[in-house]
Structure 1
Amino acid sequence: MSTSLPDTLRTQRLILREPRHSDAAGLFNAYTQDPEVARYMTWRPQSQLAETEAFVAYCMKGWAEDRSRAYILARHENEDLPIGMLEARLQPHTIDIGYVLQRKDWKTGLMSEAITAFCDTALALPEYFRIQATCDTENQASARTLEKAGFVREGELKRHMMLPNLDDEPRSSLMYARCR
């Protein structure tokens, strides 16, 4: 499957762009080692830069293989300094997104701004009809972010996600979607 998603998106305050090897150090410093940021993630806080480097390489490979778009989020005034990511995992007709933002930018509306811009772009393309995302049932901030970006809560998925920072067993998630 070949996607026509753009390599770069711009919002009022952000640029969403393709990852580069040089982003690893910025991501590591911004949030990958922060336990509060990792709390509701499927990964544990990273203690070594090499872990973040491996993740960036994985994201770049997904981009090259046209199976995902892990956009780096950066402010316009410093496009080389990543503050977060929005990963879009591509499926026929559907995109599943995940996202993360450094803690100092929480509650600023930046993530809902990035998600809205991505969804507006993706849903304008003929090959995509649905963008979906899940979040832990206790992650109220993520649920609000999705709702601000126009997503509708569709239901609860029981014992759906492994979140190693919270539990050793699968936890329930809320399913959200935005469709055209």
Structure 2
Amino acid sequence: MTPCLPATIQTERLLLRPPQLADAAALFAAYTQDAGVAHYMTWTPHVDLAQTQAFLEWCVKAWEGGRCLPYVLTRQGDATAIGMLEARLQGHCVDLGYVLGRAHWRQGYMSEAINAFSRVALALPPIYRLQATCDTDNLASVRTLEKSGFRREGVLASHTVHPNISAEPRACFIYARCRDR
């Protein structure tokens, strides 16, 4: 059974919504070409707008399939995309990934988005667990997850290749937030 996550989630300052092909220029400007933002990601910085457009085409198709829901983050009252939160549905578990444009770092936007998503997702009967991994050196992501109510469960050795750091898989922390019982 695939949970029925909403197409939009609102917070006090943000709107999480499905991606649109028209978001490409804003995402390219905000972060897809930024090497600093891509540092701990599993992708390399985009060299041109066409790469971001192709990525958004994949995101739109992913929504249609319903197993992977990449939400675009915008500020309330401003339709400009500033980041994304991806929810990968895995039965009773949702695996999260996220990214935010550098101009919006250290403002609490991502923890606000993750918190809102978590409340909505964990209220759905089939979902019991949300999880996310981050490189053990990515202290900003560690803080974001902990501020969002996630608990560190351990270290996954040689888990994820971060091509902007190394061609070899690196250790990652595994974090989870589970439904209260």
Q: Same fold (TM over 0.5)?
A: yes
2:168 alignment counterpart: 169
2: CA distance between counterparts of 1:2 and 1:179?
18
Task: Determine what percentage of the aligned residue pairs are the same residue.
Answer: 56
Residue 83, structure 1, aligned to residue 114, structure 2: no
CA contact (8 A) 1:3 1:66 kept: no
CA contact (8 A) 2:82 2:100 kept: yes
Aligned partner of 2:28: which letter? Answer: F
2:33 alignment counterpart: 33
2: CA distance between counterparts of 1:44 and 1:74?
23
Compute the displacement of 1:3 (Å): 2.6
2: CA distance between counterparts of 1:101 and 1:154?
24
1:47 alignment counterpart: 47
Aligned partner of 1:59: which letter? Answer: C
2: CA distance between counterparts of 1:2 and 1:109?
30
Compute the displacement of 1:23 (Å): 0.6
Q: Residue 106 of structure 2: SS of its match in structure 1? A: coil
Residue 125, structure 1, aligned to residue 124, structure 2: yes
Q: Residue 128 of structure 1: SS of its match in structure 2? A: coil
1: CA distance between counterparts of 2:126 and 2:48?
39
1:57 alignment counterpart: 57
1: CA distance between counterparts of 2:9 and 2:167?
37
1:95 alignment counterpart: 94
1:148 alignment counterpart: 147
Structure 1's unaligned 5+ residue stretches are none
1:19 alignment counterpart: 19
Aligned partner of 1:156: which letter? Answer: V
Q: Residue 22 of structure 1: SS of its match in structure 2? A: helix
1: CA distance between counterparts of 2:9 and 2:177?
19
1: CA distance between counterparts of 2:146 and 2:13?
20
Compute the displacement of 1:113 (Å): 0.1
Q: Residue 153 of structure 2: SS of its match in structure 1? A: strand
What's the TM-score once normalised by structure 2's chain length? 0.97
Compute the displacement of 1:54 (Å): 0.9
What's the TM-score once normalised by structure 1's chain length? 0.98
Structure 2's unaligned 5+ residue stretches are none
Cα-to-partner distance string for 1:98-150 (whole Å, 9 max, x where unaligned)? 00000011110000000000000000000100000000000000000000000
Aligned partner of 1:178: which letter? Answer: R
What is the alpha-carbon root mean square deviation over aligned residues? 0.7
Q: Which runs of 4+ in 1 moved over 3 A?
A: none
Q: Residue 128 of structure 2: SS of its match in structure 1? A: strand
